[in-house]
Amino acid sequence: MRKRYLFFDIDGTLIAGGYASGYVPDSAKEALKLLKRQGHFLAIATGRSNAMARPIMEELGFVNMVSDGGYGITIDNRLLGIKPLPKEHIVALVRECEERDLPWGLQVDDSDTRLVPDERFYEATHDIYQKTKVVPGLRPENEDVIYKAFVACEAPVEHSIQALKNLPWCRYQKEYFFIEPTYKAEGIRAVLDHFGADRRDAIVFGDSENDLSMFMDEWTKVAMGNAVQALKDRADYITTDADRDGIYNACAALGLF
């Protein structure tokens, strides 16, 4: 069988039910086993940081991953590196947030913890997705690298923040939004080039707006049934919902096992 290079988003694709109560359907686990048996290359492609994605990666037996929205690459369980966000643009963002009295936070290492200068971010969000650590005097100028940033506000305030014109961002939560890479295709290309693989042999699976960054015409694009319409409009194949055997049904329909 022709070897294919498969890249799976996590939330809403491999995981059904939302980030707080999500689960991996048994049919998806079975599909992954059958794909491995057929000799296909399997990888996760996620906006999550390497540290936040690694538990699900290990649970499902993956050893390859595009993390950090395309800026992190893991091959054979070895993290090759994570590209940081441009610090000067984060400095400008924080300055504007402070002028507008918007709580903010930073992720400055590969961990499950964001740093904040005071308690206001947690008070505004009560977020449980990541741990939040108060570091009095926190300044982006003083950090060696910045991988993500966070701003507490409700939509559509972000559309009026001028510094965001120079930064990628996504909103997953009502209370705050993420400044994080949205270049999954960049990471996928790096993995394919690492193995000298033909880009036409790649297949990507996704459901949300941040997956638009990997829905490129260079390869096959599969949208989950629960995907946003913009993703379905770009897809080569639309499968059933994540909680209705979407992964298994797509792989079977594409003749991957």
Q: pLDDT tens across 155-208, in order?
A: 999 999 999 999 999 998 999 999 999 999 999 999 999 999 999 999 999 999
State pLDDT tens for residues 86-141. Answer: 999 999 999 999 999 999 999 999 999 999 999 999 999 999 889 999 999 999 99
The confidence band for 20, taking pLDDT boundaries of 50, 70 and 90, is: low
Number of domains observed in the structure of the chain: 2
pLDDT of residue 82: 98
Which two structure tokens, joined as six digits, stand for 145?
């690298």
Q: What is the CA radius of gyration of the chain?
A: 18
CATH assignment at residue 99: 3.30.1240.10
Three-state secondary-structure class, residue 132: strand
List, in sequence order, the alpha helices (H) in the chain: 26-37, 50-59, 87-99, 120-125, 184-195, 229-234, 246-253
| CATH number, position 234 | 3.40.50.1000
Residues 171 and 189 in one domain: no
User: Could you tell me the residue range of the domain that residue 78 belongs to?
Assistant: 5-83+182-253
Q: What tokens were used for 74?
A: 């893991």
In this prediction, residue 129 carries a pLDDT of 87
**CA–CA distance, 197 with 3 (Å, rounded to integer):** 10
Domain end point (choices 163, 179, 195): 179
**Predicted pLDDT at 19:** 64
Helices (H), 115-196: 120-125, 184-195
**Model confidence over 233-242: pLDDT tens digits?**
999 999 999 9
- Strands (E) in the chain, as ranges, are 5-8, 41-45, 65-67, 72-75, 78-82, 104-107, 113-116, 131-134, 148-152, 169-170, 176-179, 202-206, 220-223, 237-238
> Model confidence at 21, in pLDDT bands (50, 70, 90)?
confident
Tell whether omega for the bond before 86 is within 30 degrees of 0, i.e. cis: no
Q: Is 18's pLDDT higher than 80?
A: no
Can you give the pLDDT at residue 215? Answer: 98
Q: 186 and 76: one domain?
A: yes
The verdict on 116 and 139 lying in the same domain is: yes
Spatial separation of the C-alpha atoms in residues 7 and 40, rounded to whole Å: 11
- Segment 51-96, tens digit of pLDDT: 999 999 999 999 999 999 999 999 999 999 999 999 999 999 999 9
